[in-house]
Structure 1
Amino acid sequence: MVAAATQSYLSLLALEPPGWGGVMLVGFIQSLKLAFGGYGLGLLIGIGGACGKLYGGPVLRDLMEVYTTLIRAIPELVLMLLLYYAGTDALSQLLALAGYGSVDINALTAGIFVIGVVQGAYATEVFRGAIKAVPIGQIEAARAYGMSSFQVLRRVTLPAMLPHALPGLANLWMVATKDTALLAVIGFSELTLVTRQAAGSTKAYMLFFLAAGAIYLAWTLVSSLVIRLIEKRARRGLTRTA
């Protein structure tokens, strides 16, 4: 009797209906799309922001300082609500003014934009600190060889700063993965929202939230393994300090 009840309880996680496992898998894939897209956008913003802070003019440096200060000062949930509703509406209006007519921005694109903007502020500081850790002699040597500023950045500064930036970037990846859950409040069907829907429909709250936690944990462990491999490769040839 107990075994049958347990089997019936666990059947709620089946991939086929009436199980909710397939729905949770789709939600997890949506979460990964958000995480990868937002993280990638954040890296691009971070590199641009760090270069702007270090090498830009006074106006650009001040703008980057305001951006990073505001993003890091305001709670992420408030930022996401603000950027999702106000930011996407402003972008749609700008596109309409540019002659593209009314543009409907889908939830996935908006979610990637929101996470990317938040990640970009933190990535800016990570890259800025890593670039400043590059020995100035390497940059001066590259300039002495006649490299342009872009060549110095691409061939010397970015490769040399990568080992210094990786710990911070790894932490940002973990944050991006967890930040996808915050988009449940705006109705995006990622893992947290579909888990809540499944639990509400079946009243098996413990089962579904434990399952969602296990999925997040498994993904974190896989991410940690990949990050360690990347760090090992990026630090090859470097001498270890005692």
Structure 2
Amino acid sequence: MNTKVVLITGALAGIGRATAIAFAKEGAHLVVSGRREEAGHALADELRALGADAEFVRADVRFETDVQHLIERTIKRFGRIDVAVNNAGTEGELGPVVDQTPEAYENTFSTNVLGTLLSLKHEMRVMLPQGSGSIINLSSIAGQVGIPGASIYAASKHAVEGLTKSVALEGAAAGVRVNAVAPGPVATEMLDRFSGGNEEAKANFLSSMPAKRAATVDEIAQTILFLASDKARYLTGQSIAVDGGYTAQ
């Protein structure tokens, strides 16, 4: 089958949106999801204008009924899922660990970890019987190294890396691949929030990067497209750091 069916969670902004547009330009069929109805339908219209067969389905990945509905709608529309990009995530409440609360933990882990787990659960239920599929989870350099002031976020992304490796082992013999993309700083609103809206702090952080700049959302999207493609058909259980050399230091 030449036309891939692609499902993307957290597709309404940043990396998710750029990834949806990149797949649309490749001619994929797309189901995009998120929590904002108006933005979701606008994105679906934009994807259709690019020539893609696209649909928006509202879903909050923290709730299993929403995830089940999202998968069911995708199957009803296209009959299969070839690629799933689990991009929905949040940085949560940033700050030193002494200021963190159980509520901050719950808010971050419910999206980043539970949301990824539920997505994997129901995507694998489709892909295992198919005998094919590629799942790409969004991790972060914070899933590979510590980030001061972001302990809960880093813990959640370390969990995403563990989920990726474990589920990859469950799917490998059936022909289902599971990998993660771990971006460094990306030119999005999240980077501004990590910098506390302080342009000098952001510039200082980026100057510490070997590449001396943030990634663009399109650079991350192209890595996702590679992992979804047959060019990566023997690649599974891996986390690809797209970080301008940060984790090589």
Instruction: Report TM bin, short chain.
Output: under 0.3
Structure showing greater Rg: 1
| TM-score in terms of structure 2 length | 0.25
| TM-score in terms of structure 1 length | 0.26
| More RCO (CA 8 Å, sep 6+) | 1
The structure with the largest strand share of the pair is: 2
The structure with the largest helix share of the pair is: 1
